[in-house]
Amino acid sequence: MVEVNCETDFVARTPDFQQLVEMAARGVLGHCQGASGTKLLLREDELAQVRAGDGGELLSDHLALAMGRLGERLSLRRAGWLRAPGGFVATYAHGWVPAGPAVAMGTYGALVACGGPGAGPPPAELRELGRRVAQHVVGMAPTALGTPEDELGGDTETRLLAQGTLLEPGVPLGRYLRERGGLQVWDFLRFQCGEEPPQEPPQEGSAPPG
């Protein structure tokens, strides 16, 4: 997931800008696939040094060319990546930019590392449940994971699994997932365009089993 900023809505809707976003997303994916661990965050200066494809030019070079074509200041703000060994990464993007064939775009985005209760590929129902959790992360802006046994918190609750579920606010998300197939949530990442990122990288969530 990458955050690329511009100054106007008009530029955000142009093919040039959206191609830059897609190029950055693909470059980050290739860069992170060789990394260790289950989470990686890149600051603006680190993102600028990522290459667009094997042997491609730096993203900072593509950024400069896009600014020249569009006549507006752009920035490669940050990027984040999650891995879910034995599970899958659910995604959700929210905003007014229509979803493209390869990269979803919007003003909010979330990644959720999760998996099913057993071995093997998760069924479609659990994958859809993972997408709903990612949607919840965008809407409720949690800052910590919590545990599946957490009781329901109040309106200011920041632990994901203790927050009231979007569709059933009276039920904590952890219990909601247990009652619908046992989807496990291991970690998550949320971006909002223009927000000030935390000074310290967020801690990794619970590690996948095994």
Other C-beta atoms closer than 10 Å to the C-beta of 150 total 18
101-147 pLDDT tens trace: 578 889 999 999 999 887 777 889 999 999 999 999 999 999 999 99
70-86 pLDDT tens trace: 999 999 999 999 999 99
pTM of the model as a whole: 0.88
- % the chain with pLDDT above 90: 72
Does residue 17 sit in helix, strand or coil?
Answer: helix
26-53 pLDDT tens trace: 999 999 888 888 999 999 999 999 999 7
Question: What is the C-alpha radius of gyration for the chain, rounded to an integer number of angstroms?
Answer: 18
Domains of the chain and CATH, by start: 1-82 (3.30.479.20), 84-210 (3.30.479.20)
Can you tell me the distance from the alpha carbon of 50 to that of 59, in angstroms, rounded to the nearest whole number? 6
Pairing of strands 75-82, 2-5: antiparallel
Q: Measured in whole angstroms, how far is the alpha carbon of residue 188 from the centre of its chain?
A: 7
The pLDDT assigned to 209 comes to: 44
* Between residues 89 and 118, the one the model is more confident about: 89
CB 135 within 8 A of CB 116: no
